[in-house]
Structure formats: structure tokens, C-alpha cells
Structure 1
């Protein structure tokens, strides 16, 4: 069925069903927020945070699988999806400021917090800042500082360099769309051939829509700069220091085919977070909640049981 432009129903594959969307004014920006459909109002709240270049649509499947357990919301962070960028900087701390205000305006009790990639870094910042408001923390390929340099690290360094970052992205956008689409899919997913066709079609549609946004590529550049700054922060002010202060139950999920976050960092992550368990998915890439949503769902239910 279709209601208010939102496509739902048993006839629509779960991976492309859209959650109802609304606009919430937060921190001087009109934030697009999606609500998990058919979740009872008395369920505990949840907040889903996407990564760099992603959107609230990255959580479609997992949220629907959990709508008997949480009443969740997934925002498009400022500068991504359908939310315009912040008036000033849009890095990890600024995104955490936005989510803190959203959390306080939407919920009056502790919530289950989910974060993927850069959204994982933002979620760690928020959980360390407001431990009273976070009941559990689920991190999927979180962008925590890694001691080993990689091709991805060099890419982020290029994006973070003044003038060079915008130039790199501008030149990338001149590459024929089909080539960029193929590169994007191979970078994000561990095994694209195993994905349902409708998920790949939705990925293509979102990339085309993002190309048309007037504010691209500045939010991506600012996000990359923020990630680089976080990796260079002194130990007492690093994301690892934040992680060490988080005492709620933490679920760490890493993919063996992740080309953006080295899964070997999971050993350090499980050691640093005081109350953590981990799930390693050998065939998954950077977005396990999209590639292996049932496994992520099952691990989360075990975490909170």
C-alpha cells in the first residue's frame, strides 16, 4: 500500500519499504526523521545513526525487523539524505550536538543507540557525553581511529585537505555514473551479487538523488575532515577515551569484507569498551545491517535479553 508517499506492505520487499518521514527543527536545521512503522508507543525508544554519505534509508530492514522490540527513529544527519547542512561545521561533535537535542526532544527515557561507520563515531561521542540517556549501544563498522594506514585513510586525508578535498570529489563526480555506481557498490557491500535486486536499485536511486543536491560535496568533505581530526586527537580526548567511559552494554559488529573499516580493530574495541560483546560476519561489508540484517537483529536481541 502507499500512504502519504510512503510505500509499505507485504507486497513490497522489506529492504525497500520506506518508513514514514517528518521534519523536526533541530539546532537551526530542518532535520528529516523517519519513524519505524507499526511500532507500539509503549516500546523502549531507539535512535539509528547512519554513516558518511548514507541516510536514514540505511536502517530500513533492521528497523522493520525490530518493530516489535523498539519504537525507533532514524534521522538524515545534516548535509546527508534529505536534510540540509548545518550553518557551520558538520563534523562528529556537531552531529552529536544535533542528535543530543533530537534525543531530548523526542524521548523522555533512555534509548537503544545504533551507529554505522561515521555514525558509529557520533554514537560513541553521544553515549560518552550522556550515559544517563543510552541504554545500549550497537556499533556496526564504527569509524574509530585505527593505527594502520590504508587506502581508505589516504582517501580521507585527501578529502580532508583544504581545496584538495572538493577538487577530488568534483573530479569523481565527472566520472560516468555507471562507473561510480559500480565503485560505490563494491566499496560498501561485501558481496553485492547476493543482495536482492531491489536493494541495489534503491542504492542507485539514492546515489542519483544525492548527485542532484545543491549542497554536495561540502558535507562529505567536512565529515572526512572530522574523521581525520579524530584520528589525530591526543589520547585523553580521543574516541577511544570516550569508548572507555561507556558502561552500558555494547554490541560491536564487523564485516570480514569491509573495505572501509579494518575488522582487525575489533580486538582492541572489545578490550576498550568495558561491557562489550562482538559479532564478526566474514561475508559482510561495511553495512552489515543491510547485508545481514537477520544476524544483526538476532545479536541485538541477545544483547538486551
Structure 2
């Protein structure tokens, strides 16, 4: 995060350390990609995929914790973070970008981590190109849920042609502090327990996101894509993709997740042929940020 400067030393908290960044031409756009520092070149590769409205910075702490186990990269997907958009920002489009990135960066299957919508794109990726994926770690993946929830209604509102832009515009007019606190409450299980550096990094990223003119459109595109995936026919759904994935899968759900109902975890564990479950009662939607040590331990157990 630019506000911290190039801080990488051991005295700096994990979530505030900066990963080196570079530009990679993928999918018709220069993708910003961050490399986990300090990982040995002979370690197996890993790919960290953020969710809707997120960025590569969502993986800072977890990636550093696992730098002795995998050599990871984390992209800002088109339209998010510091990568400009390149057409529609839907699940299938993100999966196509990830395929191209993996083919370009690695010569062996990678351990893929995906959060929220990034988890959905990772499922689509693994189903389409199992040769590129050694394992999947899915943190609150945006898989279709049979129950109507507040988040489902929210995404339905955003996906509505006239209502969606109006909702976003009304939200953007709110004072920043109010939007920031609401975002914290929506994403994290207990915002009061966040380390100061996590809170500061999240605030700085929200400020930066306000400057992106394409932000509202890619948010609408993402919401519409999630809604379409929920309405897909069973044979063409993400659940069908899940059933076809044979690599080891770690499913991570938070008991205080306000965006993905953690009760879906039982169905998810049954749907993937080779899945383990990590349930964190106190975590919200981004367990890799709130409880990175627990996620790291579970991943090491998965691939042991």
C-alpha cells in the first residue's frame, strides 16, 4: 500500500508489508501482479485471487505466511485494484484471465486460492483447466445459494439495470467515514478486533478505489455475473463445475460472514469430491485477512 512506503522488514506487521509489483500483459490489459517476496524459486507455485471490489492486497498476510511453502503471485483482476478494465468483469471472463496468467507464469500446476467472486472464478478455472490447478483453497466462495438472503437481495438490486446504478450513486454520496464503517461491518466478522495495520490498509484502499472512474460499472458487472451464476441451469452451474473437480479442495467459511451464508458449507463439502472444511465461527467474509494463521495451517495440512 503506497501510504506505507516500501516496508518489508521483520519489525513491520505482515499485513502492512509491501510485495514487489509488475505489469503483465494478459487479456488485453496490463495486469498488475504482485509477487510474494522471499519465496524460494523451487517452491511450487500459487495464485491468489481476490473477490468483487477487492485487490491483490487482500492476500498480503497469508501469502507471506505461506512463503516457505509456495511461491505466490496475486493479480489485480481487470477493473479492480490498479488494473484498468478490459470488457466485462464477470466470473467467466475472470476465469479466462486466470487461465492466461497461469499459462504465462508457471510451467506446472499451481495451488489456487480464491475469495468470494474470486473463489467462483477459481472453481470455473479448475473445472475448465484441471491441468493448471494442483489444489483449490476457497474462502467464502460465491457459489449459488438456495436460500434467499440479504446479500442475494443486494446483488439482485445491483443487477437491475436502473436500480443498480441508482443504489451505487446513492452510496457514493454518503460521507466516506460512514461508508468505511459500513464496509468494515459487512466484510469483517469483528471490525473492532482488526489489527490497526489491517484497518489502515483497508481504509487506504477504499480511498484509492473512490478515484477509479470505472468502479461502479465493474461492480455492476460483477453483481450481474454472480446473479446469472445463481440462475444457471444445474448442468451449467458452478455446482456442476464443483462436482467435476478432483484436486484437493479446502473450503473456508466464517460464522459471521454477512455476504455468504456459512450454512452452505455442508453442501459445498459434499459437492467437491475431495474437499476439507475449515469453519471459523468468529470470521467474516475474508478469513484470509482476519485469521490468516488458521487458513495457512489448514492449507499446509491439505497438501501435506
TM-score, normalised via structure 2 length: 0.98
Aligned match of 1:56: 56
Aligned match of 1:157: 156
Aligned match of 1:206: 205
Displaced runs of 4+ in structure 1, greater than 2 A? none
Aligned match of 1:176: 175
State the shift of 1:7 in Å: 2.2
Aligned match of 1:142: 141
Q: How does 1:225-304 map to 2 (within 5 A)?
A: 225-304=224-303
Aligned residues: 301
Deviation digits for residues 114-169 of structure 1 (CA, Å, limit 9, x no counterpart):
00000000000000001111110000000000000111111101111113211211
For structure 1, list consecutive stretches of 5 or more residues without a partner in the other structure: none
SS of alignment partner, residue 189 of structure 2? coil
Equivalent-residue separation in structure 2 for 1:27 and 1:284 (angstroms): 34
SS of alignment partner, residue 47 of structure 1? strand
State the shift of 1:288 in Å: 0.3
SS of alignment partner, residue 217 of structure 1? helix
Equivalent-residue separation in structure 1 for 2:176 and 2:43 (angstroms): 42
Deviation digits for residues 63-92 of structure 1 (CA, Å, limit 9, x no counterpart):
000001111000001010000011x21100
For structure 2, list consecutive stretches of 5 or more residues without a partner in the other structure: none
SS of alignment partner, residue 265 of structure 2? helix
Equivalent-residue separation in structure 2 for 1:239 and 1:216 (angstroms): 26
Q: How does 1:51-130 map to 2 (within 5 A)?
A: 51-86=51-86, 88-130=87-129
Deviation digits for residues 245-296 of structure 1 (CA, Å, limit 9, x no counterpart):
0000000000000000000000000001000010100000000000000000
Equivalent-residue separation in structure 1 for 2:268 and 2:101 (angstroms): 27
Aligned match of 2:19: 19
Aligned match of 1:215: 214
SS of alignment partner, residue 122 of structure 2? helix
SS of alignment partner, residue 53 of structure 1? coil
Deviation digits for residues 165-189 of structure 1 (CA, Å, limit 9, x no counterpart):
1121111000111100000000000
Deviation digits for residues 208-262 of structure 1 (CA, Å, limit 9, x no counterpart):
0000112121101000000000000000000000000000000000000000000
State the shift of 1:101 in Å: 0.4
Equivalent-residue separation in structure 1 for 2:115 and 2:67 (angstroms): 19
**What's the C-alpha RMSD, in Å, of the aligned pairs?**
1.0
Equivalent-residue separation in structure 1 for 2:139 and 2:257 (angstroms): 11
Equivalent-residue separation in structure 1 for 2:133 and 2:107 (angstroms): 11
State the shift of 1:12 in Å: 1.4
1:42 is aligned to 2:77? no
